[in-house]
Structures are given as C-alpha cells and as structure tokens.
Structure 1
C-alpha cells in the first residue's frame, strides 16, 4: 500500500514539473495553412486545423462550373485555367461543350470539380423565324413579321418581300374538264380549281417558291443559309388570304452549327474533344 502511494506521488510530481515547464514557455502564433497540436497540460492535447480558407485567405483548390456563351469566352477561360491533362467533351444532344479542367491524369486522380461549360443559346432571330415556321397567318400579320425581320432576308430582297407581303392577291378559278354518265343516268362533272397569286402594285412581282435567309442559329456563331418554302392559301369561307413559310430541316442547321463550333474548339485546345459528357460528380 505504501509503495503504491509513493509511485502516485512521484507521478503527480512529474506532471507538476511538466505543467510548470509548459507554462513557462512563451506563447507563439500558430502558422496558417497547417495543422497544429497544442499541449493543454496534465497530459491533454488539442489539434487545431488552420488549413481552411477562413485562416489562409484562399480556397484549398479550384471548384465550381463556369458557364460561357461563345467560343471566344470558352477559350479565354480555358487558356487561363486548363492544362494538357484537362478533358473536353462535346454533347451533341444537349449542344454543350464541357471542359473538366482538373481531370484525372494517367497516373494520378484529381478532383474533377473545376469545370467550364459552353451552353449555346439560340439567337432571337432564329427563335423568331422558328416561331412562325409552318404557320399560315393573316396577310397583315405576315407583312408585320416580314417588316420586323427584313435584315435576315437574302432573296427576295427585303424591299421586294415587304411589298409582296403587303400587296399579295389571290384569285380562284375553276375549269370544267370532263363529264361522266353514272348508272343512274345522272352525269358527274369533274373540274380543276386553280388559285393564282400576284403581287406588286401592278401585279409585276414574281411569287417566289422559296425564301433564302441568313440566320445565326447560336449567339456568337456565323450566319447560315436557310431555305424556307413560301406558302399561301385563300380561305374562301372567310374571304381571307393567309401567308407563311416552311423552313427546310432546321434541326440540320443547328447540328451543322454545333459541329462547326466543336471543330473550332478542337483546333484550339491541346487535346481531342471527346464525343459525350464527363462523369457525374
């Protein structure tokens, strides 16, 4: 019993000496950006982590997705933050091009959380023409639409198309061609009804079969030649002329514009642009 008590006394004496020694040490500032272990006395320690951005004044790594709208902006950001180990993906369905700036390397895993995405946005002119695609609207409404979008017309000229829209007239004629005696003794007549259109204040403007447009599908893209078939119909019941157009394969124009943008980026970045999308995080 006496022996045990003596050991405890020695232990307490040793700890007291340690505590006095620690108390005598001058306090020192802890360096930011490191993890420190501090002795609290009586054998207790505390870990202090000063690696967080609130201590270092900067984030530990680059994170987040930056969204841009044109190729020039994409390349400016990529040149600043990308490197030879970055990866670039082109998603044809979503019409987006994504760069994983901190992608895995062949030997090392990286975070893959710093990304750049080109999200193409259709121009207002493209949306305007697509909103009228396949519709037949009253003549006044069509003339107003043409007037608002004259800048996009290549052929016929803007002035010609506006005059056509405002002065277009349609006449209907019917021509009997043959008759046929039925079993009942009655006769059945067949005829062809023909609608003739003319335009111009003197009726001297040729009605075009197609319209040729110059449209930029996406913001920042080049203009593309777009063909639209001109259409008209006389609503005899209402005595109303309706005009419109049908754009030929607009999806093909969007696909071609996206492919040209992909090719442009592919020629500027140091790696091949992959067809697909990066792994989800």
Structure 2
C-alpha cells in the first residue's frame, strides 16, 4: 500500500469528526476545537431545557384569600408558616427543611397587609386639633364611616360648625344628654351681637376597614376642643386604634389558619 492509500482513510475520519451533529438540551458535550483543545458545552441549564431545577422567589399578596390560593398550589408536607403581629405579616416557606434533610428555603409566600386610605386618614388626625373649617370638611368627606350618631346627624353638626367660623366662642358646658355645648357671639363689635350655640356629642363611633380586603372595624372617637382667644379648635381621639388593627390582623390570621394544613408559628423565618 502506498503512502497515498494510507492517508485517504485518515482524512475521511477527520472529515467525519468535523461534520456537524445535532445536540440535545439537557446533556453535556465535549467538543474538540480546531486548535486541538477540548471544550465542555453544558446544555443542562433552564435556558436550554425550559425547566427550572427548583422553585425560587418571594411572592407578595395583600389579602388572606390570595395567600390561600397561592399556598394551595405550591405547598407540600414540609411547608412552614410564620406570623408576626407587630409587622402584621404572614410568611410561608414553601420549600422549608424536612425532618430528614435540608432544603433551599428559597420559595416563599409573603402576606403584607396594606392599610386603607380611610384608616390612614382617620389615624393621621388622631389627637390633633383643627380649625372649624378643617374639622367640618373632614367630617363631610368621611360621612360614609360615621356610625353613631349617623351620617345625617353628623352632617348637620358639620354644617353648624362651618356656619359659625367667624363667630367668637366664649364658653363650653356639658349637657345632661352627654353633649357639649359651645356658646358664641356672631358680632362682637355690636353692643348686642347675635348669640348662638353648637351642641356636639362628646363621643361618636366610626367603622373603618384597617386593611385592603378586610372588614370594617368599629372604634369610638372622643371629641377634643380648645377655645383660645375666641377661636374654637376641634379634633378627636380614637380609642386604641393600634389594638383594633391587631384585632383585624388576628381575624385575617384565623382565616389563613383554617385554610392551611400546618400550625402557624409565631415569629420570623430565617
């Protein structure tokens, strides 16, 4: 056999080795480069297979119903649930450690309750004194949350407060009915200025939902006032709004407890 005859099969094998071949996602290949090196081609990643090795990430929801929907889809027998009453949060570690082995703990569900605009508006004025106009306007804008006295009665009170903004208030007294009466003179420059009075209940009740998706909770508000140089300032003091928010959270937690199959731990996951 001539040298030429022996070279031809070697060349054919070389050409065959260089011919392109189909590859499959999910496998690892060793590839010979033109300069004689060997490279590793890893096609096992999710960008090639279209599948993640494990679930990751934290999903945040805003109400108990959404929490239970996501939980039902993704939990397993080792899922853990934690509650934090101070932060008003509930967190589920969906891939928590198992009794006989560790897991990543990287797939989580987080309930972060969001306070309603109405709750924030009422609590932002808690304990503050406003001008007559400011106070009357606030009552008119929040009639939907007034329970006792009813909205119609409180509207009349607001209108009476507005009508006397230019008067000079001289005294206040407590009536047998439990209301407080404010006496005023409309025209102090005249020798016999027109006199009048406004009767305001010492307490009233409101019903406001603390969180989005939650029921309204009742609170008692006590009127506050100050007469300074004939000017009347008004406000209210809410009865333990923080405790009412915690009570609302307890009800949310109870709703979640009914829908999960594991005890809810008091604390924060690692």
TM over 0.5, shorter chain: yes
Q: Give the 3-state SS of the residue equivalent to 2:156 in structure 1.
A: helix
How many residues end up aligned between the 2 structures? 239
2:76 to 78, 83, 86: 83
Task: Please list the CA deviations of residues 61-95 of structure 1 after superposition, one character each: whole Å capped at 9, or x if unmatched.
Answer: 22111111111111111112222221111112221
Partner of 2:157: 164
How big is the shift at 1:27?
4.8
In 1, are the aligned partners of 2:181 and 2:198 still within 8 Å (CA)? Answer: no
Choose the corresponding residue for 2:58, options 57, 65, 68: 65
Residue in 2 aligned with 1:48? 41
**3-state SS, counterpart of residue 201 of structure 2:** coil
Give 1:215-254 correspondences, 5 Å limit: 215-235=208-228, 237=229, 239-254=230-245
Q: Is the 8 A contact 2:181 2:199 kept in 1?
A: no
Q: Which of 32, 38, 43 is 2:25 aligned to?
A: 32
Query: What are the residue-to-residue correspondences of 1:196-211 with 2, within 5 Å?
Result: 196-197=181-182, 207-211=200-204
| TM-score in terms of structure 1 length | 0.76
Deviations 1:50-69 (A, max 9, x none): 11122112333221111111
Instruction: Give the secondary structure class of the aligned counterpart of 1:207.
Output: strand
Which stretch shows the higher mean deviation, 46-55 or 240-249? 46-55
Which stretch shifts more, 204-213 or 84-93?
Answer: 204-213
Q: What value does the CA root-mean-square deviation take over the aligned residues? A: 2.9
Identify if the C-alpha distance between structure 1 residues 30 and 42 changes in structure 2 by more than 3 Å, giving closer, same or farther. Answer: same
Is 1:108 the equivalent of 2:84? no
Q: Which of the pair has more CA radius of gyration?
A: 1
Aligned equivalents of 1:173 and 1:99: distance in 2? Answer: 55
**Separation in structure 2 between the aligned mates of residue 23 and residue 135 of structure 1, nearest angstrom:** 88
What is the alpha-carbon distance in structure 2 between the residues aligned to residue 210 and residue 159 of structure 1?
16
Structure 2 residue aligned with 1:6: none
Q: 1:233 to 1:109 in 2, by over 3 A?
A: same
The two structures have a TM-score, normalised by structure 2, of: 0.78
Task: Judge conservation of contact 1:97–1:119 (CA < 8 Å) in 2.
Answer: yes
Gaps of 5+ in 2: 1-8, 174-179, 185-195
